[in-house]
Amino acid sequence: MTLNAFEDTAADASPTAIYEDRLWRDKGWTARVIKNEDDDGWAVAMYLDGESEPALVGPWTMGRDKKNPKPLDAFAFSTLIKTASEVIRRHEQHQHAMLNKRLTVDTPSGRLDVTLQIVPDEDAPYALLSAHDANGEQVAQVRVGPEFRFNPGSAHAWVEDDFRRPGD
């Protein structure tokens, strides 16, 4: 589904509430009903204030004339905010899970939580490999490449190698 570009982005939109048939702006969100260029229907795009890309784009209902879109209303806007917020929340959870991994390693002196935290720096990404004891105290931490293969085997090997930086 492609979108028609619209002239004012959420980034430069004023905080003033707007309630029009095809544009609602309130509560930090903007809903814009747009022509779906892929077919003869309509779509709605939800923008979080300050963002240039929509958090959600979905089909929009045709009006009674079967030609124009149904006007936005308070119930639809509220539902769209909830749905778009959930999409953002799930995306953030996914990003967190991709950048933060955790395993438990059993050692003769007790269990250790071994974590890998990827730092997606644009110029020089890296990852921090850390070990914490049962009390949450950090036992060791080394910097590794963001491509480090973090799995039970590599975590065990790191612990058994006295927390030396892998590859050294």
**Residues 112-135: pLDDT tens digits?**
999 999 999 999 999 999 999 999
Which residues touch 154 (CB under 8 Å, ≥6 apart)? Answer: 148, 166
Answer yes or no: do 58 and 22 share one domain.
yes
Q: How far apart are CA 147 and CA 125, in angstroms?
A: 9
pLDDT, residue 14, reads: 53
Is residue 3 assigned to a domain? no
Q: How far apart are CA 9 and CA 87, in angstroms?
A: 20
Answer yes or no: do 61 and 110 share one domain.
no
Domain limits for position 59: 10-72
Tokens of 62: 């045709």
Is residue 89 assigned to a domain? no
Is residue 20 assigned to a domain? yes
Answer yes or no: do 108 and 63 share one domain.
no
The answer to whether 139 touches 129, Cβ cutoff 8 Å, is: no
Is residue 41 assigned to a domain? yes
Is residue 90 assigned to a domain? no
Is residue 151 assigned to a domain? yes
DSSP three-state, residue 87: helix
Q: Is 60 exceeded by the pLDDT of residue 9?
A: no
Tokens of 25: 């702006």
pLDDT, residue 114, reads: 98
H or E segment to which residue 157 belongs: helix 152-160
Q: How far apart are CA 57 and CA 154, in angstroms?
A: 41
Answer yes or no: do 66 and 103 share one domain.
no
Is residue 84 assigned to a domain? no
DSSP three-state, residue 81: helix
Number of structural domains, the chain? 2
Residue range 141-147: average pLDDT?
Answer: 95
Q: How far apart are CA 123 and CA 11, in angstroms?
A: 26
Task: Please write the tens of the pLDDT for every residue from 45-87.
Answer: 999 999 999 999 999 999 899 889 999 999 999 999 999 999 9
Answer yes or no: do 117 and 67 share one domain.
no
Is residue 136 assigned to a domain? yes
